[in-house]
Structure 1
Amino acid sequence: MSKRILIAVDEEESRVAVIENNRLLNLEIESNAFEGRRGNIYKAVVHKVEQSLQAAFIDFGEDKQGFLPLSEIHHRLWPEGITEKRPDITKLLRNKQEIIVQVVKDEVGTKGATLTTYISLPGRYLVLMPESDKHGISRRLADTERRRLKEVVDSIGVPEGFGVIIRTAGRQQRPLELKKDLLYLTTLYETIEERAKERKSAGLIYRDRSHPVRFIRDYFQDDMDEVWVNHRGTLKEVSEFMNVLMPDAVGKLRLYEGEAPMFIKFGVEDQIESVFARQVELPSGGSIVIDATEALVAVDVNSGRVKGEDIEETALAANLDAADEIARQVVIRDLGGLLVV
């Protein structure tokens, strides 16, 4: 079995995929024409507080103002004496007030970007949450595993005033690796604070990593055999990132210089077209039909040529076959919200 990450960069877009035995497991495409701002951090100024919306419009140095809802206002911005659980936003913010914000959702159409004042910095194994004393450990884990991870967090010496979340990739890592990640993130945050102090007007103070590096940060796992990159500049950028946070993995980097496009060479191009079709065929002869609406995503399972001794056996065989493909489609298409099967 072989598991690879493919990073294909050209003038128009960057495409990154995970394949296992040449079967597509994950895919992200980002256009170079659209500069995504999600994850970026800005020094900002409150332009207008809207009591009717319980939100504020924020000037953060871009063409369109951002939208900051009440729920995304950190307690550090609350004036002293506020004891209500959900105070009126006019008690918390004032026009022309300077704040630090992070983009959580890019602008869509005429709507500006959605902002938060709860800053988070993702690393390889941890997510750092400045000005927080909470540590995130999934409640889905067994009690023994939660206790173990709590002990691990206590052992790495998280500075006062910071909270951390252990990412999936960090659950089995040694405390030393987590400490390295923590040091990297706290140093990064100190740099961001200095930039905020130096900047005199609203504008960018931290740009999140490029699309290929973000993908490596979020999806690279120890069981990856190779990482192929078709662009020398991107290869250098990925290599520098890996040298800091995962030096043992640098040896898995490969420069692709073949004549055929990399996604064709590894058999991914043909899969992309079929993956995004409304109807996806299943190996056993059945199919699934995916319809996405604003309210929900509906998935219909068709048994097709799947045959069993009776109707219940046929339904079970079709559903088992579909379950694996639906999980794969959820990842590849980045489906979220209400999913009805």
Structure 2
Amino acid sequence: MTIETAPWGMTGRDQNGVMPAVGAHTPPDEALTPDEVSHQPAEKARVDMAANFDTLTALEAESIHIFREVAGEFERPVILFSGGKDSTVLLHLAVKAFWPAPLPFPVLHVDTGHNFQEVLDFRDRMVEKYSLRLHVASVEDYIADGRLEERPDGIRNPLQTVPLLDAISEHRFDAVFGGGRRDEERSRAKERIFSLRNAFGQWDPKKQRPELWNLYNGRHSPGEHVRVFPLSNWTELDIWRYIARDNVELCPIYYAHDREVYQRDGMWLAPGPWGGPRSNETLESRSVRYRTVGDGSTTGAVLSDASDNFAILAEVAASRLTERGATRGDDRVSEAAMEDRKREGYF
């Protein structure tokens, strides 16, 4: 059976028009080595190498290179892991980068106390699966002891900054991996892959360093640290293509399921510890899924029947809004809401 490479970089249909099952590709880590190629007929070698090199393979190789660069340049890196799709792909790539050795970095989750329970359960399952060292910075603890005050609107995502910076300082992390992508939001489009933060954790877009020819400058002074974004050049569609190609396990909240939701400001929100519908809002059962996962009080679901990776791929390809623009209320406060938070030390 001959498998053709589809123009978008995923494994295509065979000559009978049948789509292979997810995971039926040749894994990147099983691609032909130069030595193996030299022992094959030239034409077959060219075909095999072409079939194994596509857009996703290039993006994966870049991300793995970044992980290894950081391992060589920094002493105490950490991966931000929330259980969302981007941080899950980030973790998947990190495990690949150092396999079969264990992941040499701990993971850090800044827990708002308003997370979906499915996401917390998934986070703990991944920690156990890969035998990870997990650090949790709790916004709830900061509110309880008076170090932070609850916002009038009840949104806790902006309150993550202080616990995050305190955790970085306490554990002396000098490089912090995040799953930010440039296509998500305009301020993230300004980010370099290595983003220097000053001694107060603040970001200055005017002090971004050039990264010509994929050369990354990790130099920093005592007290400073570097935020690292291995997924910078990925898009939401790339993420879902990669999840389908590598059969990456995700939190089930990303797939269509029935959930009690209510509509507010054009978004479908779910009730929880953060509150529920107001008197003028109606709770109803709908088939929904989440494109992004954050604070439950401000992260909206989308109406969807897409229950598998390929159905989601079709939805994402047809969308004209990024996941943050469509379903994150905290980014609607102002046009510069994300940039303002980043200047304060937020990711």
Common fold, TM-score beyond 0.5? no
TMscore range, shorter length: under 0.3
> TM-score, normalising length from structure 1?
0.21
> TM-score, normalising length from structure 2?
0.21
Return the structure number with greater helix share: 2
Return the structure number with greater strand share: 1
